[in-house]
Amino acid sequence: MWSSTKSKLFLIMPLFDVYPIQDITIVKAKGSRVWDQQGQEYLDLYGGHAVISIGHSHPHWVERIKTQLDKIAFYSNSIRIPLQQELATKLGTLAGKPNYQLFLCNSGAEANENALKLASFYTGRKKIIAFTKAFHGRTSLAVAVTDNKNIIAPVNETENVIFLPFNDVAALTECFQKQGKEIAAVITEGIQGVGGIQVADDSFLQAIRLLCTQYGAIYIADSVQCGYGRSGKFFSHDYAGVQADIYSMAKGMGNGFPVAGILITPQIPAKHFQLGTTFGGNHLACAAALAVLEVMEAENLMDNALNMGSWLMEQLNQFPQPQNVRGRGLMLGFDVPDTLPDLKKSLLTRQHIFTGEAKPNVIRLLPSLTLTQADAAQFISSLQQEIQSSPN
Ligand SMILES: Cc1ncc(COP(=O)(O)O)c(C=O)c1O
């Protein structure tokens, strides 16, 4: 594409077009609200894909990043970075896992990649169990354990991954009975996000724990989307009353600043050079992640997620049409009926509300954990209007 100024004609370099996008440019954001170039305000129940945890541009988060930027933004992991220790301690306390070890990296896929690699190093085994509709990221091992053939490149194909039906304890037990001694890890989300908000049964997670312990495999709790307080508990896996060996975290961890990590059971010892990263755990990322935890604690955001989530679920269940309302806390989904095929689009264009989706027909709500009663009520009344104005 060519563009011109008064004197020059120049080429606009194209972006690699990997997603279909909305024709909206957001220029300002605050709490659960965003504004486009024309000044139109939107209610954001999508949070840039479950990333906005403490609200857009939270003043404490902005201040902590700015203050850190004035001191030092980055130095590599070859020196002491006390902010990492501060973050580990705060995270361990809030997550209720004070004896776990923290490894920091930059994205959800990278967190899962490191978790899987560590499980294989530790057990000396190669096979991984993953589940139908799972999404764990787009890098080599993370995508290999993702149940979507369209995003697995030929080079990522491997015989080391066994896919089993989600929430099927019998299939899992049978698999372990047949080849338990070869299994390095079982990886699962506590609530499948991309898979359409499917909640893992407590009994399923308990079976994973039991079988992993029995056969010496590692239980990896992918908490990239369902973790960090979104479900109303720090990790959605906590609802099952079991401890995973490794928890992967990303999205809500930095409230938009790229930071991710894995929490690792004390039983897995660290060995120099097995894992590593250039950018992971840099000063700015730690400051952003600390700000998130400080706000979560000060504003009781896990309680708010639980309360607002219960209220929304109660309201949604009163509608005759959106069906199968499901999820936990502020990670909710429902099936859009055939009579309202364009519901997500009309919520955006007519009601000015961002929501998420999962193919083929699920609306996902992944708002900031600071969502207020007024925000939630606005959504319910907008949804009501859209249902009533539907020609069907
Ligand atoms: C459950 C889960 N795991 C991993 C990922 C990958 O995270 P990232 O896009 O930061 O690599 C995602 C992203 O949507 C996710 O939902």
Question: Mutation test of ligand 1: which of 49, 133, 136, 141 has the most ligand atoms closer than 8 Å to its C-beta?
Answer: 136
Q: For position 89, what pLDDT does the model report?
A: 98
Task: Please work out whether the CB of residue 224 comes within 6 Å of at least one atom of ligand 1.
Answer: yes
Q: Is 225 in the pocket of ligand 1 (CB under 6 A)?
A: yes
Q: Is the CB of 106 under 6 A from ligand 1?
A: no
Confidence band, pLDDT 50/70/90 cuts, at residue 7: low
In single-letter form, the type of residue at position 332 comes to L
Question: What is the C-alpha to C-alpha distance for residues 318 and 10, in angstroms, rounded to an integer?
Answer: 56
Q: Which of 251, 259, 366 to mutate to test the pocket of ligand 1 (most atoms within 8 A of CB)?
A: 251
- Predicted local distance difference test score (pLDDT) of residue 390: 76
Atom index in ligand 1 nearest the CA of residue 223 equals 1
Predicted local confidence at residue 53, as pLDDT: 98
Helix (H) or strand (E) holding 260: strand 260-264
Per-residue pLDDT of 43-74, as tens digits, reads 999 999 999 999 999 999 999 999 999 999 99
Residue type, 340: L
CA of 386 to the centre of ligand 1 (A): 31
Span from the CA of 53 to the centroid of ligand 1 (angstroms): 15
State the virtual CA torsion across 56, 57, 62, 63 in degrees, nearest 10: -110
Q: Rg of the chain over CA atoms, in angstroms?
A: 22
Residue nearest to atom 8 of ligand 1 (CA): 108
Distance 190 CA to ligand 1 centre (A): 13
pTM greater than the 0.85 cutoff: yes
Would the pLDDT of 392 be above 70? no
Task: List the residue whose alpha carbon is closest to atom 13 of ligand 1.
Answer: 137
130: DSSP letter: E
Ligand 1 closest atom vs CA 137: 6
**Residues 138-164, mean pLDDT to the nearest whole number:** 97
pLDDT of residue 265: 98
Q: How far apart are the first and last CA of the chain?
A: 42
Q: Which atom of ligand 1 lies closest to the CA of 250?
A: 10
**Ligand 1 midpoint to CA 199 (Å):** 16
Q: Yes or no: say if 169 and 203 are a contact pair by the CB < 8 Å rule.
A: yes
Ligand 1 proximity of 135 Cβ (cutoff 6 Å): yes
Residue 301, pLDDT > 80, answer: yes
Q: Is 113 in the pocket of ligand 1 (CB under 6 A)?
A: no
**312 and 355 Cβ atoms separated by less than 8 Å:** no
List residues bridging with 198 in a β-sheet.
192
Q: Identify the three-state secondary structure at position 388.
A: helix
Closest ligand 1 atom to Cα of 138: 11
Q: Is the pLDDT of residue 203 over 80?
A: yes
Q: Over range 134-149, report the average pLDDT.
A: 98
Evaluate: CB of 340 within 6 angstroms of ligand 1: no
375 lines ligand 1 (CB under 6 A): no
The response to whether residue 136 sits with its C-beta less than 6 Å from ligand 1 reads yes
